[in-house]
Amino acid sequence: MKRLAVYCGSATPADPRYIDLAEDVGRTLAGEGIGIVYGGGRLGLMGAVARAALAEGGEVIGVIPEALVSGEVANTDCTDLQVVANMHERKRRFTDLSDGFLTIPGGVGTMDELWEAVSWAQLGYHMKPVGVLNAFGYFDHLLAFNRHMAQVGFVRPVHQGIILAETELSMLLGRMRAFEPSKPIFDMKAEDL
């Protein structure tokens, strides 16, 4: 894995553990020679991931929509800051520039990015690992809901392993490196669906 898209929040929660986690992710990825592709912001967890990686000499590519640049939230310290027209183009660029997706805590935008990465993996738009760092039990309910969707029958058995979730970053990165893609929907016939 040369680069990972890191999905995370632009907010700064009151609990300092979240910023500490983001900084640890940035330092660890840079230390392992893994570049970061992220939302291009300088605030919240986004900014913490980027600053920590840059401080360690890591590559940080920010991808930010034009509308957010004018709001002075863009991180101009990135190795490469790419300004795109909209959120759809931003997410496409994340997919094109990365070898996988690493999600840490965040809000609605982070969930949008995560679910799109999962959906695109199911369909076959990409064959890359989708990791969730479930620090502090943040994603417990999301992971339970994903299991519920599978139990009801909305996630096919072959796709139930797309989300790789761990509580420790080192374990998650190991699983992401060893990831074997599932058979995508695009390669299935109607009777398989």
Q: pLDDT averaged over the chain?
A: 96
Q: Which residues contact 124 (CB under 8 A, 6 or more apart)?
A: 184, 185, 186, 187
pLDDT for residue 190: 84
Q: Which residues contact 166 (CB under 8 A, 6 or more apart)?
A: 131, 132, 133, 134, 172, 175
Answer yes or no: is pLDDT of 71 > 80: no
pLDDT tier for residue 193 given thresholds of 50, 70 and 90: confident
pLDDT tier for residue 70 given thresholds of 50, 70 and 90: confident
Amino acid letter for position 43: L
pLDDT for residue 191: 79
Q: Which residues contact 8 (CB under 8 A, 6 or more apart)?
A: 22, 25, 38, 39, 44, 45, 46, 49, 103, 104, 105, 106, 110
**What count of other Cβ atoms lies within 10 Å of the Cβ of residue 180?**
7
Q: Which domain holds residue 132?
A: 3-192
What is the mean predicted confidence (pLDDT) over 18-33? 98
pLDDT in tens, 123-174: 999 999 999 999 999 999 999 999 999 999 999 999 999 999 999 999 999 9
pLDDT tier for residue 72 given thresholds of 50, 70 and 90: low
Closest to 97 measured CA to CA, from 71, 141, 60: 60
Which pTM was predicted?
Answer: 0.95
Beta-bridged to residue 84, according to DSSP, are: 65
Answer yes or no: is pLDDT of 184 > 70: yes
Answer yes or no: is pLDDT of 60 > 90: yes
* Residues belonging to the chain: 193
CATH of the domain at 150: 3.40.50.450
Q: Structural domain tally of the chain?
A: 1
Do the beta carbons of residue 100 and residue 129 sit within 8 Å?
yes
